[in-house]
Each structure stands twice: as structure tokens, then as C-alpha cells.
Amino acid sequence: MTDLSQGTAVFVAELIALAFVCLALSSIFWSTLTLGISPMPTSTKVKRELLALIPAELEGEVHELGAGWGTLAWAIATKCPRARVIGWERSLVPFLFCRLRLGVQRRDNLSIRFGDFHRADLKGAQLVIAYLWTGAMTRLGPKFEAELPNGSTVISHTFAWRGKQPESTVITADLYRTPLYRYRIVRS
């Protein structure tokens, strides 16, 4: 290959890479606008506090509503090998990242689904994890009450489920004093 054609090939490869980066950033930006939240990952300190609330022997389904880059989904699937962790994600780039990550960092008890968590069937869930926003928690409240089984748990990172008394609240020793709310579904 001549110097000129080699230079052209490198230039074209750089252009293609740049186009992919721009597409990925636009997709994340668009999802953030339409969904109302970015795929901001949970910090290491909050993850540690949240994991401490989950027993390692937990069995049954764990639904993570909005898995992002998989920060919590992988951590929970690793800590709780007998649980079946299902991460829901509707933003394409984080979802594709998680699917690629599953190929590299396999967890037999973890699956990542592309879709709206409002459509998730929570009837078999033992635990639901959410790091969303106030409006999402307000909308999800009636779904939790209608579908979650007696004795199951909801842990919400940062945003409270308004109108529901938490069983416990843990304040993380970080800059934002991030709260973790734990709710129990109790049916009479």
C-alpha cells in the first residue's frame, strides 16, 4: 500500500469511529431527554451500602428498574448467586453495553432486557431496585402495590416512594448523604 492510500484508510477509519461516537452520544442524549434521566451509575459508596441491605442467600427474582451500565445488576448477581437478577433498560447504548458486558463478565443468574420497566411483570419479584426520580417512583407505586408479592422488598436509591412508610432508611456517608429507602410489601 502506498503512503497516500494508507493515510486515506486511516482517515476513513477515524471518520467511522468518530461517527460511531457521535451516534452513541446522540442516542444517550436523546434517551435522557425522552426518559427523563441519564444512565448515571451508582457510586461505589452507595453500592456498598445498598449491597449491605441485601442478604446473600436471597432467592427468587430481583428486578432492577433501569440497569444503566450494570453497576448494581452485576454486584447483586455476584452477591446473591441463588437469585435471578433481571435488569431492565430502555436506553440503547447502556443496554448494548450491558449485553456486551454479559459476554465478557458472564453471570448465569443475570439477564438484561431491552424495554420499558413499566411493562415488567413483578408478580414473581422478591426484590425491586430503583435509582430513578421522584415522578417515576410516584408512577410505579400503584404497580408495586398491585403486583409485588407479600413480604417482597423495594429498595430505592435517593428517591422516596411518597406516601409509603419505609421499613428503614440508610444514609450513605458521602458528599450528598444519599438516602437508601427500604420498603416492605405487606398485605393484610
Ligand X SMILES: C[S@@+](CC[C@H](N)C(=O)[O-])C[C@H]1O[C@@H](n2cnc3c(N)ncnc32)[C@H](O)[C@@H]1O
Residues contributing to the site for ligand X (CB under 6 A): 31, 35, 37, 39-42, 64, 66-68, 71-72, 88-91, 94, 116-118, 131-132
In whole angstroms, give the CA distance from residue 10 to residue 4: 10
- Quote the least distance from Cβ 129 to ligand X, whole Å: 7
| Cα–Cα dist 1/6, whole Å | 6
72 vs 137, which CB is nearer to ligand X? 72
- Least distance in angstroms from the C-beta of 3 to ligand X: 45
What's the min distance (Å) between Cβ of 30 and ligand X? 11
* CA–CA separation, 71 and 157 (whole Å): 13
Q: Using CA atoms, how far apart are residues 183 and 13, in angstroms rounded to an integer?
A: 51
Shortest separation between residue 162's beta carbon and ligand X, angstroms: 18
Report the residue number, 117 or 181, with the smaller CB distance to ligand X: 117
Distances (CA, A) of 51 to 72, 94, 164, 172, 184: 9, 22, 22, 12, 17
Shortest reach from residue 145's CB to ligand X, in Å: 18
Contacts of 72 (CB under 8 A, 6+ apart): 42, 47, 50, 64, 129, 131
What are the backbone dihedrals phi and psi of residue 86, each rounded to the nearest 5 degrees, phi first? Answer: -120, 115
Nearer to ligand X, 18 or 100 (CB): 100
In terms of CB distance, is 12 or 23 closer to ligand X?
23
Identity of the residue, 126 or 156, whose beta carbon is nearer to ligand X in the bound complex? 156
Cell of 98: 450491558
CA distance 40 to 165: 26
